[in-house]
A and B are shown apart, each in its own frame.
Chain A
Amino acid sequence: MTNKKNKKNKNKVLKEEKKTSQLKEIWFRLKKNKLAVMGLIILLILILIAIFADLIVDYDNVVVKTNMPERLQPPSGKHWFGTDEFGRDILARIIHGSRVSLSIGVIVVAISVFFGCLLGGIAGYYGGMIDNVIMRIADIFLAIPAILLTITIVAALGIGMTNLLIALVIANIPGYTRLVRAVVLSVKDVEYVEAARAIGLRDGRIIFKHVIANCMAPILVNATMSIAGTILSAAGLSFIGLGIQPPNPEWGAMLSGGRQFLRVAPHMVIFPGIFIIIAVLMINFVGDGLRDALDPKLKD
């Protein structure tokens, strides 16, 4: 009796292992890439800082409240990264700024990947007229430099966080549509897609469950990389005054604010800049690592 039970349990354990084996293997390969692991760890730290920013520093009293007596101080024991022209602690502002920067990156990419999959999936799977219409519209958007496009959209919609997001999403969608369509084209004529049609699945289910799921690797890698690009774009837009508005902290906006004091207080520009670089670089390391880990040809 107990023997039988043991056997059953063993079977269960075996099954669990099998089910996760694919993810495990990817993780195993990712782990071997030292840069990617470093990127992942530092990103995790940044994300944790962003999540618990409120516990680390008080937003209303430290981050946005002016403190004129301590303005433009260089880095010291009290203010590790110095203070800005209103005497606000730069470290505190960077900590809270990470919230804005990281979440813009993730939100924009998530939304644009979603729409990219939708449009690219439809265009690639059905082909013909629908494909032509969707892709030509995407081409029109791609013909305009992304930064100009976002500036135009923000200028038209008005300045603000939501409009910034909308502009970045619109600028990102055509690229994803193109990417997803290309991978869908390479997958849609495989026999299991035909088999899925033969068992009577609806088109929508075939596209989004069977086709897109098989295209996930390149999409995932691309998405990771473009989180970095989006953070840069958002910072750039804030820098020219079209993004996050003072007194709210955002890395790009902080750079912009420090510009006038470059000679007297270079720390105002250096530290936010360093954080932008770190975030972007680490995300790119992780993306690189993911690409290698998801590519079965590099298996060893």
Chain B
Amino acid sequence: MSEKILEIDNLTVRYKSGNADVHAVNGISISLEKGKTVGIVGETGAGKTTTSLSIMNLLPERTGRIDSGTIKFKGKEILDMDYETIRSIRGKEISMIFQDPMTSLNPIFTVHEQLSEAVRMHSNLSKEDIDTKVKNVLNMVGISENRMNNFPHEFSGGMKQRVVIAMALINEPELLIADEPTTALDVTIQAQVLDLMKNLKRALNTSMILITHDLGVVSEMCDEVAIMYAGQIVEYGSLRDIYKGDKHHPYTVGLFGSIPNIKDKSKRLKPISGLLPDPTKLPVGCYFQDRCPHVMDKCRTIHPKYYINDNHKILCHLFEEDKHGQ
């Protein structure tokens, strides 16, 4: 019905670190339709940011390497594009909001200079046109245009993040990658920024990849959710599948168990014990085996396959008996 804007298939990324290879992303597949939002959730080091950098082809040149897989943006393979083509897509068709608004603006240029540079890179508009564009986008994110000649340090954290969002949206991209856009902000500002992003997304019909470790943010923003663990998507499904469905990956259950619940009378949270496996030597079998409460013998030897029910995928041996797909 609607066109696919982004298709990632079996993406594998490795980092070279000394002698060891860090297996950051191990065969993930995501597809995203126009106007939809997919949330990527997972703990620190699960490979979320690496995935998003791969989409922009911005991995650190000498250490990061994409081993296999394809990333198709509007049907065109990103990984095969030459420098000039990918450069013309960055910031125009795909743009990115970074984690930390405090450092993602250049301290020595005014907001106006930085925003207009983003426009100038991708069009031949006249100075006046760029000016109006900058003013419009600043109005859109709720910053008064007579502050556009201020330097970043003259803004508060929330306002800086708005400027960063404005910079990402100024060329009206078709795909927006938001890498933990609210992590560095306090809760009241978080809500404002999320509201803002939601409205803008609706107004511009932008597709979005939202990277976060906050399940509350996901339920607010996303249509589909991918739960990442050790470079793999362990569960993928619609918002309803993940939040309401009856079958879950043990990791997802653990994640939800780690959120305080106001209705729950129990005194303690139920966190997942242990840490992510060492990405330089991932275990044989399921990567979650050491932390899983339902671990079975075959989890230690055989890597699980996806249990597939419609659009809901779970990477776990628990559900293999009643598997529908492969």
Contact = CB atoms under 8 A, between A and B. Distances in A.
B117 interface: yes
Interface string B195-219: 0000000000000000000000000
B192 interface: no
Contacts of A140: none
A139 to B, nearest CB: 22
Contact of B56 (A127, A190, A198, A202): A198
A129 to B, nearest CB: 10
How would you classify the secondary structure of chain B's contact residues: helix, strand, loop or mixed?
A: loop
B222 interface: no
B292 to A, nearest CB: 35
A200 B62 contact: no
A15 B90 contact: no
A191 B121 CA distance: 19
B287 interface: no
Contact of B122 (A198, A200, A214): A200
Contacts of B70: none
A44 to B, nearest CB: 27
Given A195-B98, A210-B106, A214-B108, A201 B58 contact: no
Interface residues of B toward A: which range?
A: 20 to 34
Contacts of B110: 19
B103 A15 contact: no
Interface in A99-130: 127-128
Nearest to A127: B62
Given A199-B91, A200-B89, A19 B149 contact: yes
Contact of B62 (A11, A128, A191, A213): A128
Q: Which 7 A-B pairs have the closest CB atoms?
A: A199-B91, A200-B91, A200-B90, A191-B103, A191-B104, A198-B96, A195-B104
Interface of B: 56, 58, 62, 87-92, 95-96, 98-100, 103-110, 117-118, 121-122, 146, 149-151, 154, 164, 167-168
Given A15-B149, A198-B58, A200-B91, 17 more contacts: A11-B146, A18-B150, A191-B98, A191-B100, A192-B105, A194-B98, A195-B104, A195-B105, A195-B164, A198-B56, A199-B95, A199-B117, A199-B168, A200-B92, A200-B121, A200-B122, A213-B109
Interface of A: 11, 15, 18-19, 22, 127-128, 190-192, 194-202, 210, 213-214
